Amino acid sequence: MAASETTVKLERVSKSFGEFTAVRELSLDVRAGRVFGLLGPNGAGKTTTIRMIVNITAPDSGTILLFGRHIDADLQDRIGYLPEERGLYRRMRVADQLRFFAEIKNMRGKKVDAKIDEWLARVKLSEWKNKRSMELSKGMQQKIQFITAVIHDPDVLILDEPFSGLDPVNVELLKEIVLDLKRAGKTIIFSTHQMEVAEKICDDICLLNRSQKVFEGSLRDIKRSFGRNAVAVRCEGGDGVLDDPALVSKVVRHADEAQALLAAGADAQTLLKRLIDSGAVIGKFEMMEPSLNDIFITKVTEPA
Amino acid sequence: MKKFLSVVRREYIQRVRTKMFIVSTVLLPAVMSLFVVVPALILSIETPPMRVAVVDQTGRMYSQIRQSLSNEQAEPDAQNANAGPQRMPRRSFSKFVMEEVSAGSQSLDQIRASLDQRLQSRELDGYVILPPDFLSQGKAEFVNRNPGDLFSTRVLQSAINRAAREQRLVDAKVDTQTRQELFKPVELQSVKIGTGGQEPESGGGSFALVFGIGFVMYLAILMYGQIVLGAVIEEKETRIAEILFSSVKPFALMMGKLVGVSLVALTQLAIWGLAFSVFALYGVGILASQGTRANIPSIPFSHYIYFGLFFLLGYFIYATIYALVGSMVTTAQEGGQLAMPIILILVVSFYLFWPVSRSPDSPFSFWVSMIPFTAPVAMLVRIVTQTPPFWQIALSLLIGFSSVLLIMWVAARIYRVGMLMYGKRASIPEAIRWARQA
**Partner residue opposite A81 with nearest CB, options B6, B239, B246:** B246
- A266: domain CATH number is 3.30.70
Q: What is the pLDDT of residue B191?
A: 63
Label the pairing between strands A187-192 and A20-31: unpaired
Same domain, A79 and A177: yes
Average pLDDT value for residue range B119-144: 84
> Do residue A92 and residue B3 have CB atoms under 8 angstroms apart?
no
Per-residue pLDDT band for B76 (boundaries 50, 70, 90) equals very low
pLDDT of the residue at B294? 57
Q: Is the pLDDT of residue B292 over 70?
A: no
Q: Is the pLDDT of residue B293 over 70?
A: no
Give residue B78's pLDDT.
42
Contacts of B7 in chain A (CB under 8 A): 104
User: What is residue B391's predicted lDDT score, i.e. its pLDDT?
Assistant: 92
| pLDDT class of A271 with cuts at 50, 70, 90 | confident
What's the DSSP call for residue B282?
Answer: I
User: Which residues on B lie below 8 Å from A59 (Cβ)?
Assistant: none
Q: Highest mean pLDDT: which of B208-212, B295-299, B370-374?
A: B370-374
Is A219:A64 a contact under the CB 8 Å cutoff? no
Long-range contacts, stretch A132-137, CB < 8 angstroms, 24+ apart: A132/A90, A132/A91, A132/A92, A132/A93, A132/A94, A133/A88, A133/A89, A133/A90, A133/A91, A133/A92, A133/A93, A133/A94, A133/A97, A134/A90, A134/A91, A136/A94
Across the interface, whether the CB atoms of B244 and A92 are under 8 A apart is answered no
Q: How confident is the model at residue A232 (pLDDT cuts 50, 70, 90)?
A: confident
Q: Please count the CA atoms within 13 angstroms of the CA of A243 that sit on its side-chain side.
A: 5
Q: Per-residue confidence at B194, pLDDT binned at 50, 70, 90?
A: low
Q: In 3-state terms, what secondary structure has residue B379?
A: helix
Nearest residue of B to residue A93 by CA position?
A: B14
Q: Calculate how close chain A gets to B9, using CA atoms only, in Å.
A: 9
Average pLDDT, chain B: 81
- Please name which of B167, B137, B157, B217 lies closest in space to residue B378, comparing C-alpha atoms: B217
Shared-domain flag, residues A128 and A171: yes
Q: Is B18 on the interface with A (CB under 8 A)?
A: yes
Give chain A's mean pLDDT: 86
Q: Is B3 on the interface with A (CB under 8 A)?
A: yes
- Whether ipTM tops 0.85, in short, is no
Determine the pLDDT at residue B80.
43
Position B173 pLDDT exceeds 70: yes
- Residue A81 half-sphere exposure toward CB, CA atoms < 13 A: 30
Ranges A140-144, A210-214, B72-76, B154-158: which has the least confidence: B72-76
Average of per-residue pLDDT across A276-304: 80
Highest mean pLDDT out of A130-144, B66-80, B134-148: A130-144
Q: Which residues does chain B have within 8 Å of residue A101's beta carbon, measured at their own beta carbons?
A: 243, 247
pLDDT(B382) > 50: yes
The more confidently predicted of residues B210 and A173 is A173
Does residue A239 fall inside a structural domain? Answer: yes
Same domain membership, residue A161 and residue A259: no
From CA B209, how far away is CA B212, in angstroms rounded? Answer: 5
Domains of chain B listed by start with CATH number: 2-40+201-436 (no CATH), 46-182 (3.40.190)
Residues A257 and A158 in one domain: no
- Please indicate whether, in this complex, the C-beta atoms of B420 and A77 are within 8 angstroms of each other: no
pLDDT of residue B195: 47
Residue B263: pLDDT over 90: yes
**Half-sphere exposure (Cβ direction) of B305: Cα atoms closer than 13 Å:** 6
Which has more confidence, B401 or B165?
B401
Transcribe A186-204 into DSSP letters: -EEEEEES-HHHHHHH-SE
Q: Does B6 touch chain A (CB under 8 A)?
A: yes
Of A198, A221, A244, which marks where a domain is finished?
A: A221
B422 CA: distance to closest CA in chain A (Å) = 9
User: What's the whole-number mean pLDDT along residues A185-207?
Assistant: 88
Residue A241 has pLDDT above 70, yes or no: yes
DSSP for A100-118 reads HHHHTTT--SHHHHHHHHH
Least Cα separation, residue A6 to chain B (angstroms): 21
Chain A: residue nearest B430 by CA? Answer: A18
Contact pairs from chain A to chain B, CB under 8 Å: 66
Least confident of A113-117, A167-171, B25-29: B25-29
Interface contact B242-A86, CB threshold 8 A:
yes
pLDDT at B202 over 60: no
Query: pLDDT confidence of A71, banded at 50, 70, 90?
Result: confident
Residue contact A101–B243, C-beta within 8 A: yes
Cα B201 from Cα A276, distance rounded (Å): 112
Q: Rounded distance, CA A279 to CA A272, Å?
A: 11
- Taken in order B253, B255, B260, B264, the sign of the CA dihedral is positive
Nearest to B6 among A76, A85, A104 (CB): A104
Which residues, at least 6 apart from B306, have a Cβ–Cβ distance to it below 8 Å? B379, B380, B383, B393
Residue that terminates a domain, selected from A221, A238, A273 = A221
Tell me, yes or no, whether A201 and A238 share the same domain: no
- Chain A interface with B: residues with Cβ < 8 Å: 51, 54-56, 73, 76-77, 79, 81-83, 85-92, 96, 100-101, 103-106, 108, 145, 148-149
For residue A262, the distance in angstroms to the closest alpha carbon of chain B comes to: 42
Question: Is the whole model's pTM more than 0.80, yes or no?
Answer: no
Q: Which range of residues forms the domain containing residue A235?
A: 228-288
Distances (CA, A) of A127 to A117, A124, A131, B261, B305: 10, 8, 8, 31, 47
Same domain, A214 and A240: no
Where helices occur in B75-202 by DSSP H, the ranges are: 108-120, 134-137, 150-171, 176-182
Name the residue facing B239 among A51, A54, A87 (closest C-beta): A87
Reported confidence tier of residue B7, pLDDT bands at 50, 70, 90: very high
Looking at the complex, report in whole angstroms how far the Cα of residue A79 sits from the nearest Cα belonging to chain B: 8
Statement: residue B92 has pLDDT above 50: no
Residue A202 lies in a domain: yes
A103 to chain B: which residues are within 8 Å by CB?
2-3, 6
Which residues of chain A have a CB within 8 Å of the CB of B244?
A: 104
Instruction: Specify the pLDDT at position A147.
Output: 94
Whether A170 is in a domain gets the answer yes
Q: Which residues of B touch A16 (CB under 8 A)?
A: none
Chain A CB within 8 Å of residue B437 CB? no
Domain's final residue, options A206, A221, A236? A221
Nearest-CA neighbor of B65 among B90, B96, B108?
A: B96
End-to-end CA distance of chain B: 23
Q: Are residue A78 and residue A174 in the same domain, yes or no?
A: yes
Of A79, A89, A103, the CB nearest to B240: A89
Instruction: Quote the number of domains for chain A.
Output: 2
Q: What average pLDDT does range B147-154 have in this prediction? A: 79
A260-274, B275-289, B310-324, range with greatest mean pLDDT: B310-324
Integer Cα distance of B124 and B50 in angstroms: 8
The C-alpha of A145 sits at a distance from chain B's nearest C-alpha, in angstroms, of 10
- The pLDDT confidence band at residue B296, using thresholds 50, 70 and 90, is low
User: Are A118 and A245 contained in the same domain?
Assistant: no
- Chain B residue nearest residue A78, CA to CA: B247
> Is A297 part of any domain?
no
More reliable by pLDDT, B371 or B301: B371
On whether any CB of chain A is under 8 Å from the CB of B14, the answer is: yes
Q: Are A87 and B2 an interchain contact pair (Cβ–Cβ within 8 Å)?
A: no
On whether residue A299 sits in a domain, the answer given is: no
Question: Is the Cβ pair B14, A89 closer than 8 Å?
Answer: yes
- State the Cα torsion B273-B275-B277-B279 to the nearest 10°: -150
E strand or H helix that includes residue A35: strand A35-39
Contacts of B246 (CB under 8 A, 6+ apart): A54, A55, A56, A76, A79, A81, A83
Q: Residues A159, A193: one domain?
A: yes
The predicted pLDDT at position B93 comes to: 47
Q: Do A86 and A146 share a structural domain?
A: yes
Give the pLDDT score at B399.
95
Contact residues on chain B for A76, CB-CB shorter than 8 A? 246-247
Interface probe for A, chosen from B4, B17, B238, B242 (most Cβ of A below 10 Å), is B242
> Which of A225-234, B165-174, B347-356 has maximum average pLDDT?
B347-356
Q: Is A265 within the bounds of a domain?
A: yes
Task: Work out the pLDDT band at A52, boundaries 50, 70, 90.
Answer: very high
Q: Considering only residues 215 to 274 of chain B, which have any Cβ-Cβ distance to chain A shorter than 8 Å?
A: 234, 237-240, 242-249
Q: Residue B46 is inside which H or E element, if any? A: none
Query: Does some domain include residue A51?
Result: yes
Comparing A288 with A62, the larger pLDDT belongs to A62
To the nearest whole Å, the CA of B322 is away from the closest chain A CA by: 20
What's the CATH code of the domain at A103?
Answer: 3.40.50.300
Q: Name which residue leads in pLDDT, A147 or B59.
A: A147
Among A56, A100, A106, select the one facing B246 at the smallest CB separation. A56
Say if residue A213 is in the same domain as residue A272: no
Are A242 and A173 part of one and the same domain?
no
Please compute, for residue B155, the number of CA atoms within 13 A of its CA located in the half-sphere on the CB side: 21
